[in-house]
Amino acid sequence: MRSGYVAVIGRANAGKSTLVNVLVGEKVAIVSPKPQTTRDRIMGVLTCEDYQIAFIDTPGIYKADNLLNSVMQKATTDALGDVDMILFLLDAHNGVSEKDIALIKKMKGQKVPVVLVLTKIDIMPENLLISCIKQLADEDIEIVPVSARKGKNLNELKKVILKYLPEGDKLFEQDIISDRSEKFMISEIMREKILLKFQKEIPHGVAIIINEFSLRENGKVYDINLDIVCEKPNHKAILVGKGGSAIKEVSSFARADMEKFLGRKVFLTTYVKVEEDWRNSAFLLKEHGYGKGNT
């Protein structure tokens, strides 16, 4: 039996959460086309007969321009401690930049093995993939190209990971797939739908507060009441939409996913409120669950 922790690191939007979800076989982290989707570390556990891998998904490496971003970057740096190996994910479908090379060099300075995973190869012309691999040859790092979306080369990736994991017992019970609560996932599902519908700064300035999360006595329906916190009155107007149309639409997508996730009917009520510049308030960040560990 082999078991261990694997940090999944990379620039924002590299495909970290998508890969973790596919490898674990369940959605443990939300995904969106916008950078900075993941805000905290999330563990996803893959258990098989003779191995168990605990993946640590992390916020993407990004230049912090507010306190929330700094908290997110700290979550990523902290994930590098106490893992058995690092997967450094690189989305090279537009080529490899100097900045990418600099990050690879920095990762190689860590005290655990690092494997470079080239993501999204389904949208990468083959000649570009070959030239990227040639370009990266000088870096003297093991490279595994994958596509999480098309399920390409994932068995190969698992084999490579297992080479670096120590012999040992299971770290978690068989049925554990994440370290996060249902309540956390519910708030993340709401945030995901907002990330998918709204543009620019609006989704980045949103936090979700769950006021109620309870199963009715009949065991068939969850009552969920949540606040969508945004940063500015004009963001609130956009989130609510004309006659409440935007919030209604986004809540309906969220409710459908929540029902799928919980396997029960959901009665969802949402309220949009403004907390000016909450992303720069240490107090409000903690209030909204950032930078205080798992919930």
H/E stretch holding 144? strand 142-145
Residue 13 in contact with ligand GTP, rule: CB under 6 A: yes
Residue 76 in contact with ligand GTP, rule: CB under 6 A: no
Scanning 33-41, 183-191, 208-216, 255-263 for contacts with Mg ion by CB under 5 A, the matching segment is: 33-41
Site for ligand GTP in 96-115 (CB under 6 A): none
Q: Which of 47, 69, 119, 178 touches ligand GTP by CB under 6 A?
A: 119
Identify the CA nearest to 234 among candidates 205, 191, 269.
205
Identify the CA nearest to 55 among candidates 194, 154, 199, 182.
154
Cα 132 from Cα 124, distance rounded (Å): 10
Q: Which of 6, 23, 24, 31 touches ligand GTP by CB under 6 A?
A: 31
Residue 63 in contact with ligand GTP, rule: CB under 6 A: no
Scanning 37-45, 75-83, 110-118, 283-291 for contacts with Mg ion by CB under 5 A, the matching segment is: 37-45
Identify the CA nearest to 135 among candidates 149, 148, 118.
118
Residue 58 in contact with Mg ion, rule: CB under 5 A: no
Question: How crowded is the C-beta side of 239, counted as CA atoms within 13 Å?
Answer: 29
DSSP letters of 256-289? HHHHHHHTSEEEEEEEEEE-TTGGG-HHHHHHTT
- The residue among 38 and 178 lying less far from ligand GTP, judged by its C-beta, is 38
Site for ligand GTP in 126-155 (CB under 6 A): 147-149
Residue 122 in contact with ligand GTP, rule: CB under 6 A: yes
Residue 60 in contact with ligand GTP, rule: CB under 6 A: yes
CB of 190 to ligand GTP, least distance (A): 16
| Cβ-Cβ contacts under 8 Å for 182 (sequence gap 6 or more) | 213, 261, 262
- The residue among 188 and 275 lying less far from Mg ion, judged by its C-beta, is 188
- The residue among 13 and 251 lying less far from ligand GTP, judged by its C-beta, is 13
Residue 33 in contact with ligand GTP, rule: CB under 6 A: yes
Residue 69 in contact with Mg ion, rule: CB under 5 A: no
Cα 58 from Cα 74, distance rounded (Å): 10
Identify any residues that bridge with 119 across adjacent strands, giving them in sequence order. Answer: 91
Apex 10 CA angle, 8 and 12, nearest 5: 120
Q: Which of 35, 210, 238, 281 touches ligand GTP by CB under 6 A?
A: 35
Residues 212-241, one symbol each (x = binds ligand GTP by CB under 6 A, - = not), give ------------------------------
Cα 37 from Cα 60, distance rounded (Å): 8
Residue 85 binds which entry of ligand GTP, Mg ion, none, CB below 5-8 Å type-dependent: none
By CB under 5 A, the count of residues binding Mg ion is 4
What residue type is 264 in one-letter code? R
β-strands 265-274, 221-230 pairing: parallel
Question: How crowded is the C-beta side of 124, counted as CA atoms within 13 Å?
Answer: 25
What does the binding site for ligand GTP look like in residue numbers (CB under 6 A)? 10, 12-18, 31-33, 35-38, 59-60, 119-120, 122-123, 147-149
What does the binding site for Mg ion look like in residue numbers (CB under 5 A)? 16-17, 37-38
